[in-house]
Amino acid sequence: MYDQVRQSDPEIAEILEAELGRQRNQLEMIASENFTSPAVMETMGSTLTNKYAEGYPKKRYYGGCIHVDQAETLAKKRAMALFGAERANVQPHSGSTANMTAYLAFLKPGDKILGLSLSHGGHLTHGHPVNFSGLLFDAIHYEVSPETETIDYDKLRHQALTERPKMLIGGASAYPRFWDFEKLRSIADEVDAILLFDMAHIAGLVAGGVHPSPVPLCDVVTSTTHKTLRGPRGGLILSKKDKFKAINKMNFPGIQGGPLMHMVAAKAVCFQECMQEDFKQYAKAMVSNAKTLGDALMERGFHLVSGGTDNHLLLVNVSNKGLTGKAMEELLEHVGITCNKNTVPFDQESPFVTSGVRLGTPALTTRGMGTEEMNRIAGIIDGAVQNQENQENLAGLRAEAEDLCKAFPLYPDLK
Ligand code: DSN
């Protein structure tokens, strides 16, 4: 593997090999990560990376676009078919630029936006003060209820009626429950706000039919393509017909220059994969694995924010185990599980410390793991917490994690 790189740049070849080894030998539980298919990777590494193609199919500012036009047209068609969307823009380089594009297409700097607070599961680009979204717009936030740790739509409605935002933003990076799109729509209508939903985390669940879809009810839906969708790293914007022109214009020339045509083509490959029956099974398995893992952890006394999960992720408040999120992340890394520390609602710790960890099933499910393995992983997690000071037992748990990895080989054809 990496023969060409090894010849021209042995230092980077070594890093590539080491990272492949890390991915193979650790239980990857970062909820936003996944293992894309060899077909997607081959497309990302193709000659389409050489091509400039500012503009859109048949309306480019460069010659020689005949083939990349075909790739982009296919990607758009497939995205629309997969999600039942009226229009699609497949050029955003990332979820952040997709959101920036969608905001600036309809808002002016200083306009009010209302999104879920980052510390309650939202996302930086939904108006956090250190992010462009908080710097450019008058951003206010809704939160989850302290009792249920889920979104209180009555309170959100009241806040929207008082604040009258120009845009209501749904979507999250650490929210384990279904969203109620009917309620979001009716709140947005009451205050005459544009309704944008960022489905980056749940897009694969929506595509696989195991999460309600935001597409019919929202004006604009943004996403990444590399999380539960399991495609290349990148962004996507779906919209109603009447919103499309403004979005296209803001994407280019408003924000981006030349689209990454190798990534656009790889998005087309991903959307095609997501339309297959086995992807539906994969989506179902991500959710059933998360439920199994959540139940097994709750049986062992772990506190799951909101009391469980409807999707591919769990947010575990580990303060009742005498740990911070940071300590838990490090402890799990030590036994071969990769995850990330995460604030929990009403967290008293800083974002660098936190009281929780976020655990996700997309990558392990791609490896083929199922409910039996989730029960074993819950045992490893609990064992790590109970044996924090016992290096011998921790080494045993790490060996168990490695055995699981060996039993579900990753990229077996990459030699
Ligand atoms: N960084 C992503 C995540 O981990 O959820 C969101 O952008």
Assess whether pLDDT exceeds 90 at residue 211.
yes
Distance CA 156, CA 244 (A): 28
Helix (H, G, I), strand (E, B) or coil at 278: helix
Q: Identify which of 227, 315, 329, 338 to mutate to test ligand 1's pocket (most ligand atoms within 8 A of the CB).
A: 227
Q: Say if ligand 1 is within 6 A of residue 173 CB.
A: yes
33 Cα nearest atom in ligand 1: 4
**Helices and strands counted in the chain (H then E):** 16, 15
Assess whether pLDDT exceeds 90 at residue 1.
no
Is 233 an active-site residue? Answer: yes
Amino acid at 389: E
Distances (CA, A) of 228 to 139, 183, 207, 282: 28, 24, 9, 10
303-330 per-position pLDDT tens digit:
999 999 999 999 999 999 999 999 999 9
Residue 415 confidence (pLDDT): 82
Distances (CA, A) of 45 to 42, 150, 266, 397, 398: 5, 41, 9, 37, 34
Distance CA 243, CA 78 (A): 19
Marked catalytic residue, from 6, 17, 33, 54:
54
* DSSP secondary structure code for residue 300 in this structure: T
Q: Say if ligand 1 is within 6 A of residue 362 CB.
A: no
Write down the H helix ranges in 88-202. Answer: 95-106, 132-136, 153-163, 181-190
Residue 62 confidence (pLDDT): 98
85-125 per-position pLDDT tens digit:
999 999 999 999 999 999 999 999 999 999 999 999 999 99
For the chain, the structural domain boundaries read: 41-274, 279-407
Write down the H helix ranges in 215-370. Answer: 241-249, 261-274, 277-299, 325-334, 362-366
Residue found by looking up tokens 């497939």 in the block: 78
Q: Say if ligand 1 is within 6 A of residue 32 CB.
A: yes
Distances (CA, A) of 161 to 127, 138, 323: 19, 16, 40
Confidence of residue 336 (pLDDT cuts 50, 70, 90): very high
134-172 per-position pLDDT tens digit:
999 999 999 999 999 999 999 999 999 999 999 999 999
Helix (H, G, I), strand (E, B) or coil at 2: coil
Cross-strand bridge partners of residue 139? 113
254-275 per-position pLDDT tens digit:
999 999 999 999 999 999 999 9
279-407 CATH fold: Aspartate Aminotransferase, domain 1 (3.90.1150)
Residue 265 confidence (pLDDT): 99
Assess whether pLDDT exceeds 90 at residue 23.
yes
Q: Say if ligand 1 is within 6 A of residue 95 CB.
A: yes
**pLDDT > 70 in the chain, percent:** 100
CATH for 41-274 (3.40.50.150, 3.40.640.10, 1.10.10.10, 3.90.1170.50): 3.40.640.10
Write down the H helix ranges in 84-222. Answer: 95-106, 132-136, 153-163, 181-190, 203-207
Distance CA 376, CA 3 (A): 37
Token digits of residue 204: 């694969």
